[in-house]
Structure 1
Amino acid sequence: MQVISYIHLRLTPTPMKYIIMLLLATILCRAQGQQVNTAKLDSFFNILDSNHKAMGTFVIRKDGKQVYARSLGFRAVEKDTLLSDSLTRYRIGSITKVFTATMIFQLIEEGKLSLDTRLARFYPKMPGASEITIGQLLSHRSGLMDFVNDLTDKRWIAGKHSREQILDSIAKKAPHFAPGSKQLYCNSGYLILAGIIEKITGKSYPEALDSRIAKRVGLKHTLSGVPNNQGTLEASAYGRRDYWTQITDMYFPNVIGVGDVLSTPVDMLKFLSALSSGKLVSEKSFAQMCSFDREQLFGMGLMMVPFYSQSGFGHNGATFGSFSMLASFPKSGISLAMSINGQQYSLNEITIAMLSMANNMPFDLPSFREIKLSAELLKSYTGEYSSAGLPVKITISQSNGQLQAQATGQSGFPLQAVSDNTFRFDTAGIKIVFKPEGGQMLFSQGARSFVFSKVR
């Protein structure tokens, strides 16, 4: 449920807002060679595993055939016999929205809806209901408040709430903008779309997903409507400092149709292949789902995934502790899916690594060797920094021989020294290079960099 917008310094994952703006690089480059470098992929995942950087399952397909799969860690750390494997089910966050959009387009093709159908037909009490269309809900152009990301108390979504309570909370908040005037990622739109599917079909969302998608294309390990941590195949979510600790995730019945689906990377790839090949919706509907461009990365259920000269389609997502990515690149025939239930290395960096090696492109394997620096040198980097390119300040402090960084209004995070002046925070794919002689630091994340100057 997240696009990677860590680039906006959201250093604590905000559920369902897509962490990856996929970034991946904007320069042009051609894939070199045709073979997937499986040996180097093994080396990469061995490094992540031995350094406790990730737990999860990772799968690559080429020209419709699976060419690589790897699972790391445990689906339940407390039970050291429960290793992750290809059957482990993960919470896939906002990739759920692709399933929701698919069913909406099925209903459109059946003549039960149109992209111009007004929200007032189903939810007349919503603000702007007479102007908001189905198409605007799909493309994040409704302007409605976001019942996940707009909340001051981010833990509210971890408690049990009825659908009526959640819809009432959306209806009582003023919209962000007039319908259709802007695009702003909105979880509320997809909660409403899930309700519309239920109203039209007379089935619950989980039942509709099972009959309209899962059974139709053979997704044996994909389901909705399951409360947290039910069944031995579900992966629990973990965070790590010195050891893996289970995370209290959002209460998933709150986000049905938005971010609750349980699935496996193998099932996700099967779903995306079926969707793009006309087995679930028509060619016209699929094209509408992909109605994005480089200015607006979100279409009507899918998002653009740029990788050098290639342009793919897919989605990704995050909960409080799980992170997933699903993408397909027609030019190279490469598609990938991953789900992570323990993250200490950014989803974005793993995606870049997998795509680089799947396309047999040059890629430097990461090194997590940490060095110790003197207290005097660390002190020279401390202070408050600002940048003309970002509306936040970053405070650098020193504690117990380690630098800490904290952006305005956000939680602090530790910086790992990898050279005398270079530091990393791998969980968010952040690198900071200090230039104390000029009172500056270079902040990089993904393919973007910003110069910060010390203000005090």
Structure 2
Amino acid sequence: MERKTKLKLMVIWAKFAAILFTLPIAAQSFDQHQAKLDTYLTTLSDNNKIMTAVYVTDSGVPRYEHYAGLASVEGNVPISAQTRFRIGSVTKTFTAVLIMQLIENNKLSLDTKLNQFYPAIPNAAQINIKHLLSHRSGIFNYTNDPDYMSFMTTPQTEEQLISRIRGYQPEFSPGSKHKYSNSNYVLLGFIIESLYGQPLQEVIARNITQPLNLDSTYYGNSIEIEENEASSYRYNAHWVKHPETHMSAPHGAGAIVSNAKDTNEFFTALFEGKLVSNDSLSAMMKLEDGYGLGMTAAPFGEKQFYGHFGGIDGFVSAAGYNTEDGLNITVLSNAVNYNFNEVLIAVLKTMYGHSIDIPDFSAKSITLSEKVLSSFEGQFASTQIPIKIRFWVEDGRLMSQGEGQGAVPLTAYSETKFRFDPAGLVINFEEPNSSSNRSNGFVLSQGGGKYEFKRQQ
């Protein structure tokens, strides 16, 4: 369930990196690249940047796996191939599969109206199943409700969640635009339960996990370390355990637990036609405003990966399948203090034979005077990427804000070099002009790309 500020910041700063990334293939063997990726992931874990499980297949054949960090910091339990993570909104692809199966069995259609199930929800007579699947219903996202934090850790009934969703005013007319809303998939989860007359966890098991022998994938409950389930963490000078969402709160929008191998195998099975028909899969993959039916797509150069991202508590996940060459990437994490997108790029670069750089975390941050920091204040723009960035000094720190985005604090590592580690962002300013005492430009480095910015004002 993508609602966390930290994850949003990662996406804000990272969104150009994957799109614009393109490099020549380095003359190294895959074994050399793989060893470097091992070092990269271990370095991040050892420096409290991220803890991960990575599993990659090529047309269903295992190609790479790596596990770094701790499933339980308190118990010193390492992440392993067996470790199970909450996969957040990757659950939506599972829910969409169950809906498409119902459609194939003539129990539903994409045109079925929501008022057949929940007539009291505003616009229910105009909202159809396709609107819910594609986030085009106009229903407010209940996880954006300020009260969500007060009830997310406690058991929620269908009646309680529907009552909340029913009480929101529509954000737009059904079908008129796309806006991501977890409410859509909570409703779909309850519709599945209604049509099968079974709890969602039983339908998931019968229709997906049991036929595919995904023994480590299921509708989650309270985290049990003894059952190979990971806790999640946030970083505040050290890893701090994150509160647990009660899995009745996300339901069909984000309640599944899985390990990296099982998640990967689910997507292989989906794209190999083992879960839905070719027509259903094509409908899921047809994107409008960047989203299909329980599925999105992420570019890597000219390549396209279909799948989903997820975030719940301190967990972050990504699953992507390239239909052109069969490469299937799964990255799961229970602790993120770094740009998750940077990790995905490193994995993808390695799989396609590109070299990656090992981050150097040995540098120590320094404190600069407000007089020095003020030389970087102003607005800058680039001809390489369509974004303007503004800098200002606040409470003794240099702040930055991309146009239309949230503000982030920068940490100084020299008199001209600044970093924002949660996004893997490095900014190298030009030396301030001696007469104006202003820097006239900088180079932004992220995701293997370097982008030059010049002062506008």
Shorter-chain TM-score category?
Answer: 0.7 to 0.9
CA distance in 1 between partners of 2:296 and 2:450 (Å): 19
Q: Map Cα deviations across residues 186-233 of structure 1 (whole Å, 9 max, x no partner).
A: 110000000100000001010100101000111010010413457541
Residue among 382, 394, 398 paired with 1:397:
394
**Structure 2 equivalent of residue 51 of structure 1:** 47
The answer (yes or no) to whether the contact 1:143–1:179 under 8 Å persists in 2 is: yes
Quote the Cα distance in structure 2 between the aligned partners of 1:189 and 1:369. Answer: 45
1:352 aligns with 2:348: no
2:184 is the alignment partner of 1:189: yes
Alignment of 1:50-449 (within 5 A): 50-80=46-76, 82-149=77-144, 151-153=145-147, 155-160=149-154, 161-229=156-224, 231-292=226-287, 296-373=289-366, 375-376=368-369, 379-381=372-374, 396-397=393-394, 415-434=410-429, 437-438=438-439
Mapped to 2, the partners of 1:35 and 1:63 lie a distance apart of 17
| Alignment partners' CA distance in 2, 1:428 and 1:405 | 13
What secondary structure, in the 3-state scheme, does the structure 2 residue paired with 1:125 have? coil
Distance 1:414 1:298, change over 3 A: same
Query: In the superposition, relative to structure 1, how do residues 23 and 375 fare at CA in structure 2: closer, same or farther (>3 Å)?
Result: closer
Structure 1 unaligned spans of 5+? 4-9
What displacement does 1:369 show? 3.0
Question: For residue 430 of structure 1, what is the amino acid of its counterpart?
Answer: L
Q: Which amino acid aligns with 1:310?
A: K
* Structure 1 residue 439: Cα displacement: 6.8
Provide the secondary structure at the position in 1 that maps to 2:342.
helix
How much has 1:124 moved relative to structure 2? 0.6
In structure 1, distance between residues paired with 2:442 and 2:379: 10
In 2, the alpha carbon distance for the partners of 1:269 and 1:198 equals 26
What is the identity, as a one-letter code, of the residue corresponding to 1:91? Answer: R
Letter in 2 for 1:324: S
Measured in 1, the distance between the counterparts of 2:206 and 2:17 equals: 36
Where does the alignment leave 5 or more consecutive residues of structure 2 unmatched?
433-437
Identity of aligned residues (%): 31
Q: Deviations over 1:52-83 (max 9, x none)?
A: 21112111112321121111111111112x11
Match of 2:435 in 1: none
Structure 2 CA distance, aligned partners of 1:19 and 1:93? Answer: 22
Which 10-residue stretch deviates more, 423-432 or 176-185? Answer: 423-432
Q: Give the residue type in structure 2 aligned to 1:397.
A: E
Alpha carbons 2:142, 2:148 under 8 Å: kept: no
Q: Given the alignment of the two structures, is residue 12 of structure 1 paired with residue 13 of structure 2, yes or no?
A: no
Q: 1:166 to 1:322 in 2, by over 3 A?
A: same
Conserved in 2, the CA contact under 8 Å of 1:385 and 1:395?
Answer: yes
Q: CA deviation at 1:35?
A: 4.0
Q: Is the Cα contact below 8 Å between 1:93 and 1:317 reproduced in 2?
A: yes
C-alpha separation in 2, matches of 1:210 and 1:423: 49
Q: In 2 relative to 1, CA 42–394 (structure 1 residues): closer, same or farther, beyond 3 Å?
A: same
| C-alpha displacement of 1:19 | 10
Q: CA deviation at 1:13?
A: 3.5
Provide, for residues 208-260 of structure 1, a one-character-per-residue CA deviation record: whole Å limited to 9, x for no partner.
00101000111010010413457541111111232211111433220011111
Please tell me whether the aligned partners of residues 376 and 392 of structure 2 are also in contact (alpha carbons under 8 angstroms): yes
Moved more, 414-423 or 121-130: 414-423
Q: In 2, are the aligned partners of 1:383 and 1:397 still within 8 Å (CA)?
A: no
1:403-446 per-residue CA deviation (whole Å, 9 max, x = no partner) reads 56689999986534344323222223334444552477777766
Q: What is the SS of the residue equivalent to 1:375?
A: coil
Q: After TM superposition, give the deviation of residue 358 of structure 1 in Å.
A: 0.8
The count of residues paired between Structure 1 and Structure 2 equals 442
Distance 1:361 1:83 in 2: 29
The separation in 2 between residues aligned to 1:444 and 1:322, in whole angstroms, is 26
CA contact (8 A) 1:237 1:342 kept: yes
Task: Tell me, in whole angstroms, the C-alpha distance in 1 between the residues paired with 2:410 and 2:221.
Answer: 37
Equivalent in the alignment of 1:38? 34
Structure 2 equivalent of residue 6 of structure 1: none
Name the CA shift for 1:427/1:375 in 2 (closer, same or farther; >3 Å).
closer
User: For 1:377 and 1:304, how far apart are their aligned partners in 2?
Assistant: 43
CA contact (8 A) 1:90 1:322 kept: yes
Q: Describe the superposition over 1:134-181 as per-residue Cα deviations: whole angstroms up to 9, x where unpaired.
A: 0111011101100012x2345235332333222212111111110001
SS in structure 1 at match of 2:240: strand
Check the 8 A contact 2:368/2:412 in 1, yes or no. no
> Residue in 2 aligned with 1:25?
19
TM-score by length of 1: 0.86
Give the match's secondary structure for 2:40: helix
TM-score, structure 2 length as denominator? 0.86
Q: CA deviation at 1:31?
A: 6.2
SS at 1:335 equivalent = strand
Q: Is contact 2:134–2:294 with CA below 8 Å preserved after alignment? A: yes
Secondary structure at 2:63 match in 1: strand
Deviation at 1:286, TM superposition (A): 0.6
Cα separation, partners in 2 of 1:118 and 1:19, compared to 1, 3 Å: farther
Report deviation, 1:108. Answer: 0.2
Contact 1:291–1:299 (8 Å) recurs in 2: yes
What is the one-letter code of the residue matched to 2:55? V
Is residue 96–residue 261 contact of structure 1 (8 Å, CA) maintained in 2?
Answer: yes
